[in-house]
Structure 1
């Protein structure tokens, strides 16, 4: 099988691991820079080229898109879908997963529990609205973002209203959620494939930090899901 891995970071751990796993399984793997693609529609025919040459016959495409490559990378993935090349993750699900509020709506539509979440277009009625969500502090997360970037913790009505008002004036979209103080800087990341929880990791923020992101100095260790968290059909393995 010939596998194309969309990534600008050939030395990234995830990209290297995928490449090594493909080679160890007897497949051919090629790392492809998303920005190296030209996408053609209309004219004589619809096609895609890479570094000026026709794209080879890949059996499957595996997107590994970063924050800087994902916007154009989604178009590349959609084009591969259009010309009939199988892709591991389709463009629309990638876009949905990137958008925090959109992904929360999808979870709610499927009756999965989520924390009370709010987004607004102005701060005019904010104080009355957040009163329905619980007590201070509130946490603000940008619609798009990773590694804990742009996340704010606001503990007074004045700080929340003034911050949200400024963000609305700048046309920056944020999700507002009640902060789970009981978590004490700890969260659990679970990877689910199909209907199986295949791995879990417990992340703990460093002293003085509320974000449990590894990029913000948090530590991570293997975690076995207890029965009260793990649905009976799931069979989780801790992250190595």
Structure 2
């Protein structure tokens, strides 16, 4: 598989280095180089690409602003993956929020560049599976669900999470925490909503019991009228979900 890509940086030396790294990488094909985000935007609106290597600090239009414009236009989230290149690590969280695939901190070497590019290759291998009709590929972000597991966007990678490993999921505004049996002390943090997961997870295995919680039904150790117990964690059941929860309890009786 070959991925089309562009490089965007207002510093000539940095732009030249990224372009050299791209041309050195067998699965990347450089189709454009831009010294400003405004020029890159004009090009992308006509010819979308797979991967954008994008500097953040640029005059007129920053890399973060370009990412937001592409997302609003429908050409960022559905056609291109962004790998930010910047000298400032304080932008890491902002890059995560605009759904960047990775974040390279300058100065970076070819090994670091190749690792980030490998994430892009893995991403497109997942979304361009043979059974998908040509032109109808859909991104696996932030969540892609199959029969036995889901792919969850965690930081700058897709993590495979088996249904059987999930204990419960906690919603935190725009994020969720997925608690797993394999590592209960380290939940996976993903930039998605509890509602999105509720709609995608199979109802026979998972139930929403509170505006902030989804539980794995086969992981429930005990129930009361107002709560469920999973291990040492007590999860409340809110009034909004009591009817469906009562139907579930009736199976226990």
Q: TM-score with structure 1 length normalisation?
A: 0.29
Higher helix share: 2
Higher strand share: 2
Does 1 or 2 have the higher relative contact order (CA < 8 Å, sep 6+)? 1
